[in-house]
Amino acid sequence: MSKKENFLKGFFKENPIFVFLLGMCPALATTATFETALGMGILVVFVLTASNIVISMLRKIIPSDVRTPSYIVVIATFVTIVGMLTEWLAYDLYAALGVFIPLIVVNCLILGRAEAFASKNNVIDSAIDGLGMGLGFTFALVVIGVIREFLGSGSVMYGNYLPFLVDAPINLFTLDWFLGPNVSIADYALSMFMSPAGAFIALGLILAVMQNKNVRKTEKLEKEKKAMIAEKKRIALDKKKQTALKKVGDAS
């Protein structure tokens, strides 16, 4: 596998959330808004890359009998560091994510990558794998977050939780202009999508769209296969016919 393939596989082909259903707790809990989803994703990218690098460095030292506890300790250390940094740099995000920052420790995605990739590959490949998988996870979280925030409030905001780049909260995208002055889209939005129930339903809808694509693909492949088999049968039959005709012609 080339380095580019290794990096890109986390986005679509092996996306942790949409394909493998790993790390579902943060995918449902932290995606009420685009910003909390992005923040959670960034934290996971940091932890996953750092822990992959360290575990890959230690892969020949750690005895295989106690590897899971050792991995958990490495991951928990980085989670603690990242949690402290978040508390310092973006306190609003820290407060909004709450218990889900320490819970990155038990995210199946991180332990899974440590077990399946970092413990068998060299440091550079493990770092690329961690970065790619983390960004794929972030991508999935952001997709869910944007859909939920847009359906739930009618606009997508930036600046409430992440204080970087902007001074005051700004609207990245809104439908307010569509309704004219004095009316706000927030009055017409489906606020259910911001609530816990909406999390399940939104993720269910997204997964159904993905599954629909796969079903279509397999159906198309099957159709092509059937067509190919029919074509081969026809050719074979034609050949038989021709040889039979030849024989008849030779005989006569």
Partner 1 sequence: MSWTVFVTAIISAMLINNVILMQFLGICPFIGVSKKTSSAIGMSAAVLFVMVIASAVTYTIYDLVLAPYNIDYIGTIAFILVIASLVQLLEMIIKKYSKTLYKALGIYLPLITTNCAILGVAESNITNIWTDSLPYAQGLFLAVSTAVGTGLGFGLILFAFSSVRERLDSANIPKAWKGVPISLVVAGIMSLAFAGLVGVI
Instruction: Kindly list the residues in this chain that would bind partner 1 in the complex (CB under 8 A).
Output: 21, 24-25, 28-29, 68-69, 72-73, 76-77, 79-80, 83-84, 98-99, 102-103, 105-108, 111, 192, 195-201, 203-205, 207-209, 211-212, 215
Cβ of residue 219: shortest distance to partner 1, in angstroms?
9
Of the two residues 76 and 157, which places its CB atom closer to partner 1 in the complex? 76
Is the Cβ of residue 100 or residue 172 nearer to partner 1 in the bound state?
A: 100
Nearer to partner 1 by C-beta: 162 or 207? 207
Dihedral sign (CA 5, 64, 108, 134): negative
CB of 79 to partner 1, least distance (A): 6
Closest approach, Cβ 186 to partner 1, in A, equals 20
Query: Which lies closer to partner 1 via its Cβ, residue 212 or residue 242?
Result: 212
Q: Smaller CB distance to partner 1: residue 128 or 203?
A: 203
Using the minimum distance from each CB to partner 1, give the nearer residue, 6 or 52. Answer: 52
Q: Are 1 and 123 in contact (CB under 8 A)?
A: no
Min dist. Cβ of residue 117 to partner 1 (A): 17
Closest separation between CB of residue 48 and partner 1, Å? 15
Q: Minimum Å distance from CB 173 to partner 1? A: 25
